[in-house]
Structure 1
Amino acid sequence: MARVPYLDCAATTQVDPRVAELVMRFMVEEFGNAGSRTHTYGAAAQREVNSARERIAATLAASPEEIIFTSGATESDNLAILGLAEAGLESGRRHIVTTAIEHKAVLEPVEHLKTRGFDATLVCPDRLGHVAAGEVLGAVRPDTLLVSVMHANNETGALQPVDAIAEGLANLGDGDGPYFHVDAAQSYGKETGELRNTRIDLISISGHKVFAPKGVGALLARRRRGRRPPLRPLMHGGGQERGLRPGTLPVPLIAGLGLAAELAEAERAERARACRRIRAAALEAFAPLAPVVHADPSRVLPNILSIAFPGLDAEALMVALKDMAAVSNGSACTSERYSLSHVLEAMGLPSEIVSGTVRMSWSHATPAVPWERIADAIGLMA
């Protein structure tokens, strides 16, 4: 039985066959432990880890030693935020600036820090889901330890002004100013240019959003004036990853992430063109239904469409479309139980729009989507 088109690439992507081939080789043939340096198996594994580190660093204009491998963007976010806690407590800088539309992997660690005496300012977005750089910068105080702003929202695809925020922080003229963390789980490999700004200290990336396997990601911890961000480990038990992330390195997954990163950068323009064509076709088919589309079309990832059809409930819509396309109603990472989107609520949208929004997301590899048939089915529900 043929499967319906997969339109949930913001939740996860298929592994690129070229990446899968490399991963399997390091599972079955080159299966050594990168920490075993006394034989050729371990040496081969270590070389591949080094290669992956170099590949990822090259995409971010960073140094390989600034790349820390993790289990994914959630762990990277936690390490970036909670890992700075001790430095904040020691320095008396106990204020964090973030936004109300961050992923829970950022918001929940920030909430945890509030139980340890930290204060947090959450900047709200406009009605299209974009925060203003000026509002973020205006929330910075002398005791601000960290500014954390996602690059692209996982629900709406709205791109946030991380470059302008980075420049604003640089213009504060204080080399010891707040650390700047960017959750780039959705944008890495798609909108990488802004992530090369050297005033961004910490960047979280995820393997399974960029056609690598699940279970691997990375945190870029960029040096500023020759000094690393003063991160402390969240776990203990080994000296791997410069003492910040103990445990045996998952060499096959790391190898896959390294190759996926290199391929995404090399094919970035071509992939973006393909995604824009799919988006245009979707919007053309849906236009007669007068939908509400979230995010400014000039500042949104081309592979995510957050859309509401007036008078229709998202849950009912997904059920009606299940034999035509695999779609979602928001983040797949937040909870196993459905609840209204905190992102859409923060945007100040009416409750009927919030409860009626679905997310359709695709990739350059997505086959033909029957947009007209989908639009007809939605039209019959109205």
Structure 2
Amino acid sequence: MTTYLDFCATTPVSKPVAELVHQFMREEFGNAGSRTHEFGLNAKRAVEVAREQVARVVEADKSEVIFTSGATESNNIAILGLVDFAAESDKKHIISSRIEHKAVIEPLEHLESKGFEITYISVGENGLIDTDELKLALRHDTLLVTLMHVNNETGCIQPIKEICELLSDHDAYFHVDAAQSYGKLSEELKNSRIDMISASGHKLYAPKGVGALVTRRRGFTKIPLKPLMYGGGQEKGLRPGTLAVPLIAGFGLACEIAYDEAKDWLKQTAFKKNVLKAELSELGAIENGENTSPYILNFSIPGINSEAAMVSFKGLIAVSNGSACTASSYKPSHVLTAMNLGHERIMGAIRLSLSPNSDIPGGDIVAALKRLI
């Protein structure tokens, strides 16, 4: 039986979440917009419970949670939704980094083609952004700073607290892509200087197709986002369309479970990661990145190509050598390339991503890799 170690790509839906989703698909199947009968009212109540559960993770108000189809849509709303405000305020400068997910990089490239100026902060070999460079990049016309919390390939945890401090006297909006950390490493996401946070259900044992954008107010002022689609006015007019009540209820419950279990999850995954690192060290494995999440281990072994490793792992271990979201054709990782790692190290990179409940077949991994040396 294949052992799954690709939890950054997606997670299985937990049993209690699956049961709740099924309940709202088969029994409580009302439309949350129907106000004339109990089916609709029950659906609306379920959405509001979920909104509270999602908000609690980062100490936001439930009114600040907008449900979306996932972090990709949330990222697009956070970035492209500011276009009108940018024109009104004459602020068309955005700061980001080269290690962002494509769901951030591609919207930024679109804005660049429309006359926006994008400054990409450097990262070192450690995979962490240069906060001194960020400080120097800030300008009076900087509209937005958009940076991920935990990198989906390396697991590098960016210095969110320090970035918040740098922005304390600047009015640029701060957006954090937290797809890999929401509910798992949430403490820094509670910082009120973060204006927008993107989250995705299927990274947290909830179904695919649901996520959220947390949009914190500044005092009593809402972020001046405009919708990317129109029709129906749902989610405060920012994200129209009939709400996917079963998925939203499941995402809410997943967030509640994560809120209660996060500390234990961290202990379990940190232990498993350390076991893996110790076993891989006998092969000369080099970890790619520093200050990494306990959930992610990205490593390279001299002389081993990751594509060959994927073949040797087939039927044994499910792992990755890049982002599943951009896997239609394999190209060298833009993240590892931005870190200025050597070509051999980039082409040999393997990502293991863990779950508190995952088995750790370290011996099997080492044995399979040894056959390639």
Q: What range describes the TM-score normalised by the shorter chain of this pair?
A: over 0.9
**2:326, 2:138 → 1: CA distance?**
28
**1:272, 1:5 → 2: CA distance?**
20
Deviation of 1:323 (Å): 2.5
Deviation of 1:164 (Å): 1.0
Match of 2:303 among 288, 307, 311: 311
**2:348, 2:368 → 1: CA distance?**
15
Deviation of 1:373 (Å): 2.3
Deviation of 1:31 (Å): 0.2
The answer to whether residue 345 in structure 2 is matched with residue 353 in structure 1 is yes
The answer to whether residue 336 in structure 2 is matched with residue 344 in structure 1 is yes
The answer to whether residue 347 in structure 2 is matched with residue 377 in structure 1 is no
Alignment of 1:212-361 (within 5 A): 212-296=206-290, 299-361=291-353
1:139-159 deviation per Cα after TM superposition (whole angstroms, max 9, x unaligned)? 111110000010000000000
Could you say what secondary structure the match of 1:185 adopts? Answer: coil
**1:335, 1:322 → 2: CA distance?**
17
Whether the 8 Å CA contact 1:132–1:161 is kept in 2: the answer is no
1:67 corresponding residue in structure 2 = 65
Could you say what secondary structure the match of 2:96 adopts? Answer: strand
Q: Percent identity, aligned pairs only?
A: 51
2:192 corresponding residue in structure 1 = 198
Q: Which runs of 5+ in 1 are unaligned?
A: none
Could you say what secondary structure the match of 2:317 adopts? Answer: coil
Deviation of 1:303 (Å): 1.1
Amino acid of the residue matched to residue 218 of structure 1?
A
Whether the 8 Å CA contact 1:200–1:222 is kept in 2: the answer is yes
1:112 corresponding residue in structure 2 = 110
Could you say what secondary structure the match of 1:339 adopts? Answer: coil
1:46 corresponding residue in structure 2 = 44
CA 1:317/1:335 → structure 2, altered by over 3 Å: closer, same or farther? closer
Deviation of 1:335 (Å): 3.8
Q: Which runs of 5+ in 2 are unaligned?
A: none
**2:152, 2:223 → 1: CA distance?**
26
TM-score, scaled relative to structure 1: 0.96
1:165-215 deviation per Cα after TM superposition (whole angstroms, max 9, x unaligned)? 112101x2x4xx100000000011111010010010000000000000000
1:273-325 deviation per Cα after TM superposition (whole angstroms, max 9, x unaligned)? 110111011111111111110122xx211011101111111111110111220
* Residue correspondences, number: 373
Match of 1:141 among 136, 139, 142: 139
Could you say what secondary structure the match of 1:267 adopts? Answer: helix
Amino acid of the residue matched to residue 370 of structure 1?
P
The answer to whether residue 18 in structure 2 is matched with residue 20 in structure 1 is yes
Whether the 8 Å CA contact 2:57–2:182 is kept in 1: the answer is no
Deviation of 1:68 (Å): 0.2
**1:158, 1:137 → 2: CA distance?**
20
1:365 corresponding residue in structure 2 = 357
TM-score, scaled relative to structure 2: 0.99
